A and B are shown apart, each in its own frame.
Chain A
């Protein structure tokens, strides 16, 4: 059976089906991250001591209670680096789609490959960050701020892994479709790109609210 509207636009929506589908999915993603973000705002504004590191942990980290805030244990340089990596990967992602529209498959492979490398780079930096926390016994159970930090950044990192899987497929075995159905393949890359830009967008809000404020 032929799947309808993979390339041509549906007359009622003016869109091919996958595009409508990905936007509906992204709408649900906004609610998922929105609920967690809202919880963070509620906890942070509701508890005056939310950002203060308890005495025992502060002493262990070489400071003292009252003077040390949870945001101080997070690495701004690493998160800044990760922000640049994700922004760059968004450009390479959109350029991979543009390359297909220009019928340049070689450039597509290059830009999609770069996007995948950036995603891997993001995960490596994230692993370094997490390891530095774990080495000091800073687990989600250490405090509400860390619980929020690990939940939000962990869920975001899972989304990066999801993007890696899809982009890896479109770069590798899935790229065979370029020979048989190039327009449909181009649309697949566009839809994967919309998801990837959303992952970038979430990080744009997570970075200042967790690391800088």
Chain B
């Protein structure tokens, strides 16, 4: 955990507000881009890219993953591996057709 003196904690507070402004701006960008009517591929890529940046800010700063203990990183590496397998699952699947 970083920041133990009062000055360091005060600095941390400013950092949280900066991240808040960045998150609001990125949300506005996501919504704005959705009105541009881009191709599906480009729209998905940009939306997920912005979401990943936002998610990274929340996890890295608010959940202070930037400076955490090894044990937590170990848990998260394992989680990430299984998550990727879950996400890749659909691309290994041959659909017989889904009725809407």
In the complex, per-residue mask of B44-55: 1 if CB is within 8 Å of any chain A CB, else 0: 100110110011
- Contact indicator per residue, chain A 38-74, by CB within 8 Å of chain B (1) or not (0): 1001110111011010100000000000000000000
Q: Indicate which residue in B47, B59, B95 contacts A197 across the interface (CB closer than 8 Å).
A: B59
Give the CA-CA distance A35 to B8 in the complex, in Å: 40
A-B interface pairs (CB < 8 A), number = 136
In the complex, which residues of chain A have a beta carbon less than 8 angstroms from the beta carbon of B6? Answer: 102
Contact A83 B27 (CB under 8 A): yes
Complex Cα–Cα for A30 and B84 (A): 11
Whether the pair A42, B93 counts as a contact (CB closer than 8 A) is: yes
Main secondary structure of the interface of A (DSSP, over half): helix
Partner of A15, one of B58, B71, B95: B71
Q: Is A2 an interface residue (CB 8 A)?
A: no
Is A90 on the interface with B (CB-CB < 8 A)? Answer: yes
Q: Which residues of B contact A91 (CB under 8 A)?
A: 16-17, 19-20, 62
A198 to B20, Cβ gap below 8 A? no
Task: Enumerate chain B residues within 8 angstroms of A54, measured Cβ to Cβ.
Answer: 100
Closest to A42 in B: B90
Contacts of A98 in B (CB 8 A): 9, 12-13, 16
B interface residues, how many (CB within 8 angstroms) = 47
Residue of A14, A38, A52, A76 near B100 (CB, 8 A) is A52
Binary A-proximity of B25-64 (CB < 8 A = 1, otherwise 0): 0010011001000001001100110110011001100110
Total residues of chain A contacting the partner, CB 8 A: 54
Main secondary structure of the interface of B (DSSP, over half): helix
Interface residues of A in 168-213 (CB under 8 A from B): 193-194, 197-198, 200-201, 204-205, 207-209, 212-213
Report the Cα distance A75→B55, complex, angstroms.
22
Determine the residue in chain B with the shortest Cβ distance to A83: B27
Residues of B at the A interface (CB closer than 8 Å) are: 6, 9, 12-13, 16-17, 19-20, 23-24, 27, 30-31, 34, 40, 43-44, 47-48, 50-51, 54-55, 58-59, 62-63, 69-72, 75-76, 78-79, 82-83, 86-87, 89-90, 93, 95, 97-100
The 3 closest A-B pairs by CB, nearest first: A46-B95, A42-B90, A208-B47
Known: A46-B97, A143-B100, A197-B63. 18 other contacts (CB 8 A): A15-B72, A31-B79, A34-B86, A46-B98, A50-B98, A52-B100, A87-B20, A87-B23, A88-B20, A94-B16, A98-B16, A197-B58, A200-B58, A201-B58, A204-B58, A207-B27, A208-B34, A212-B43
